[in-house]
Chain A
Amino acid sequence: MTGSKTPPPAKTVDEGLERGIAGLTEERIRRIIRRVLAGETGARLKAYVDTCIHCGLCSEACHFFLSRDRDPAYSPVGKVKQTLWEILRRDGRVSPDFIKEARIIASTHCNLCKRCAMYCPFGIDVAYLMLVVRRICHLLGVTPLYIQDTAHSHAATLNQMWVKDDEWIDTLMWQEEEARGEIPDLRIPLEKEGADILYSVIGPEPKFQAQLIYQAAVILHVAGVDWTMPATPGWDNSDMAMFVGDNELMGRLKRAHFETAARLRVNRIVMGECGHAFRSVYDVGNRWLGWSMPPIPIVHAIDFYHELLEEGRIRVARRFEEPVTLHDPCNVVRGGGLHEKARAVIRRTCAQLIEMEPNREHNYCCCAGGGVINCGPPYKKHRVESNRVKAEQIAAAKLKGAKVVITPCHNCHSGIEDIIHHYELGVETRFLGDILYQVMEKP
């Protein structure tokens, strides 16, 4: 590795990587690299590699670079230099140890947030280049243990959290019963063929955050939405396969999701507040399967809350009083253009919005996305230290009075919580749905 002031966290012991490289030969590495470069990357990779003039303008975009004292090893182009360029320069003749380091850089030093692509005069998408590195490492069997386990869960259960078929249904029934304590005729309609909307969530919701399903059910019920949830796999819209580089598994997950919606003959899929899942169903996974757009429209929760409020189907009883700030999730803002709708929802539901700077499509990533948080505890310290700029953004908003950070994305939510804790910022995080549920008129 060259040009690095801060050594990568090589001391990190990750059995997924150690045992992954144990059986690797240089011959196999070269074969897989050639296969990926010849068969899967094509003109896009070549154009990026040929176009980059090493100007470093992308550096200013990256929260890793900015948070780590402008260490060039953490600049977008620096990450490419240490991984893909080196692979190309050596025509694939790299060692197992190189692959391990490349995996650490591609999977834990880059959130695939695409902020840098906006700063590059040529629009070079470093996130794409890091995904190529991840793809090579996946085919070589070198993947951080925690996220590999998550991908294994996806493959075995078609959800991210090892939720068994019966546990899923049981959780929905439990949340329905809980919510009936509040609204006696509320239902979570299972397997309702021909409903207007399929509501889909990510694996962690039934596993750890079942109250989010409760809240969504209340919102959907009060708004009079004709909706359903499946009692089969295919309910989970999340996708760690996309982030480990297992494209075939990503395709299987997205196919299951869309075919579940198609089987239930719904018109739209409304998804909870998740950014990476949005990227997977709206951009990457659908396209890998051959759909230029989602075959059944996908509506992110931000967009859906906006629609319900605009149409007057949900009314606000009393606005949320504590001043809030908004973290713009990369995947739904740079990736989905939902920043103004998020603000419109906040204006209707909250008394005061204090903007973080920079914001909207220029916002800094939470540093959890792109599967980085899913690589687990070995990388946590490095992750939060690599986002000092986010802590500074939040601290500045707090100085102006913000007490709550709204993070309408699961990864962002967890990542921002870690940052708040690490930097002792003394603010709270909330989902947009938490706020809406709290302030809405209920029967």
Chain B
Amino acid sequence: MNRFTDGSWNPAIFDLPLSSWRERFLGVEEIQASPSGDAAAAIVRLGQEGFTVCVNGETWPEPYEKLWHLRYAPDGRLVALGSREGEWTVVVNGVAWENRFSFVWNPLFSDEGGRIAVAFQQDMAYGMAVDDVPWEESFPNLTHPLLSPDGASCAAVVQTEPLNEGDIFKYRQGIYTAAVGGRPWERRFMNAWSPAFRPDGGSLAAAVRLGPSDYTIAVDATPWEETFACVWDPLFHPQRRTVLAPVRRGGSWWLAEDGRILWDRPFVQLWQQRVSADGKRIAAVVAPSFGRWTVAVDGRPWKADAGEMVSDPCFSPDGGRLAARFKEAGRWTVAVDGRVWNQRRGMVFSPVFSPDGSRVCVRFKDKGRFGYLLDDRPWELAAEAAWDPVFSPDGDRLLLRSLEQGVFRRRVLPLADFGKV
């Protein structure tokens, strides 16, 4: 691969012009930036031979009839889903897996990126494969594919028996459950959704429906004793090893832990619960009243709120701070520890904390152009594309990746230079 950067955290700008790609190929799809900013890649169209991937100007050796879902894994490997002669597989840095399937989708990466999983369909039977090893057992259908954070286990919701359309009675007896590593839980449910692994991958929870209006959470196949009018996605508490889930009771939403109500007050809505890495604080998106949204921390909602949407709450790495995306009157912004930023844009992406949590940077898009906000200070880059900011391990510098006037640009800059270079 053509190297155009020094790959370091030394402040510098490196440019990779991409305009020639448009001349070389019949079509260039969305540019993907590698996590380190050392590479830019895209699926490109060749003509009769089909498609390949162009990385820093060099193409993968073999073309494919079709390629899609090009993504960088967190470890920097470049992954796409490709087909030849009607069969699909996973292609990693240009090298195809040995296994071929009727279809593959939803590639998943472990947190560090060392493992890659994918959902597959082979002759109308469904399963998952991890690092080119398919599950031994397959199912009539599979949804909600999931890889554990460490990549050691993968899971999905599976349908365990065939069902004829219109057979509402068999459906009610329960033909859905979760499967871990291809082995379904013993117990079946009317429905199962949103499985979640314990961070160590040793346990799995899922939202389940026991009957038309009886919902609960099942952990390793065992439902909580309590049932609710509805539940949302479960989440393991990393330290307490308990399961947290929003539950609906009496027309309101509560946060429950292992089946018991945890917070002392309900909300009109409650979801996207998160636990800080140290396990000390729990946050969730809540609607304290109809049409008003905010974040609650340990059951206490922030005073600041938004009327349209609040989403993606995230703790700083040390758990000391909390940010979320806020939307009011069609404009997005960020709120940190209950203070809403003044800068508003057509779209803001996920807020990113510096390692010590003292700084927050976010990518934005407005009127088709991308830029960044650092602690509520804007940098109108007017880029055609941009990727999430990355803080250096010491938190002093920022890595920004953007596409400006057809040039892929990798910038490393001291925070003091934000907006200047």
Contact = CB atoms under 8 A, between A and B. Distances in A.
Contact of A170 (B103, B308, B346): B103
B212 A156 contact: no
Contacts, number: 118
Interface stretch (A115-123, A182-190, A313-321): A182-190
Nearest to A185: B27
Given A40-B251, A173-B66, A226 B106 contact: no
B171 interface: yes
B368 interface: yes
Nearest to B293: A290
Nearest to B159: A156
Contacts of A232: 106
A152 B119 contact: no
Interface string A287-302: 1011111011100000
B291 to A, nearest CB: 3
B211 to A, nearest CB: 8
Interface stretch (A100-108, A160-168, A335-343, A378-386): A160-168
Interface in B130-157: 141-143
A145 B365 CA distance: 47
Contacts of B330: 297
Interface in B155-196: 159, 165-169, 171, 176, 190-191, 193
B66 to A, nearest CB: 7
B60 interface: no
B287 interface: yes
Residue of B143, B287, B293 contacting most chain A CB atoms (<10 Å): B143
A190 B287 contact: no
Contact of A169 (B103, B168, B171): B103
A148 B168 contact: yes
Interface string B107-125: 0000000000001010000
Contacts of A246: 212-213
A26 interface: no
Contacts of A233: 143
B309 A251 contact: no
B340 interface: no
Nearest to B143: A165
Interface in A167-202: 169-170, 173, 185, 187, 189-192, 194, 196
Contact of B347 (A40, A148, A267, A290): A267
B193 A252 contact: yes
Contacts of A251: 230
B30 A192 contact: yes
A149 to B, nearest CB: 5
Given A187-B29, A194-B365, A149 B166 contact: yes
Given A19-B169, A166-B105, A292 B290 contact: yes
B411 interface: no
A292 B69 contact: no
A204 interface: no
A265 interface: yes
Given A231-B69, A262-B311, A152 B346 contact: no
Q: How large is the interface on A (under 10, 10 to 19, 20 to 34, 35 or more residues)?
A: 35 or more
Interface string A210-245: 000000000000000010000111000000000000
A16 interface: yes
Nearest to A192: B30
A136 to B, nearest CB: 12
Contact of B309 (A40, A139, A191, A262): A262
B221 to A, nearest CB: 19
A111 B394 CA distance: 63
A157 interface: yes
Contacts of B100: none
B236 interface: no
Given A145-B168, A265-B349, A39 B159 contact: no
A156 B213 contact: no
A304 interface: no
A189 B269 contact: no
A141 interface: yes
Contacts of B291: 290-293
B274 interface: no
Interface in A127-164: 138-139, 141, 145-146, 148-149, 152-153, 155-158, 162, 164
Contact of B68 (A19, A166, A190): A190
B212 A196 contact: no
Nearest to B250: A39
Contacts of B165: 149, 153, 162
Contacts of A196: 368
B248 interface: yes
Contacts of A15: 169
B248 to A, nearest CB: 7
Interface in B64-122: 66, 68-69, 102-103, 105-106, 119, 121
B262 interface: no
Interface of B: 26-27, 29-30, 66, 68-69, 102-103, 105-106, 119, 121, 126, 141-143, 159, 165-169, 171, 176, 190-191, 193, 209, 212-213, 215, 229-230, 232, 248, 250-251, 268-269, 271, 287, 290-291, 293, 307-309, 311, 327, 330, 346-347, 349, 365, 368, 370, 385
Given A145-B166, A164-B121, A248-B229, 7 more contacts: A16-B168, A157-B141, A166-B119, A169-B103, A248-B230, A259-B311, A292-B291
Interface of A: 15-16, 19, 39-40, 138-139, 141, 145-146, 148-149, 152-153, 155-158, 162, 164-166, 169-170, 173, 185, 187, 189-192, 194, 196, 226, 231-233, 246, 248, 251-252, 255, 259, 262, 265, 267, 287, 289-293, 295-297
Q: Which 8 A-B pairs have the closest CB atoms?
A: A292-B291, A290-B269, A295-B309, A290-B287, A248-B230, A166-B103, A290-B268, A166-B121
28 contacts: A39-B251, A138-B212, A139-B213, A146-B166, A149-B167, A149-B168, A156-B143, A156-B159, A156-B171, A164-B126, A169-B103, A170-B103, A187-B29, A189-B29, A189-B30, A192-B30, A196-B368, A226-B368, A231-B68, A232-B106, A246-B212, A248-B215, A248-B248, A290-B269, A290-B293, A291-B308, A293-B291, A295-B327
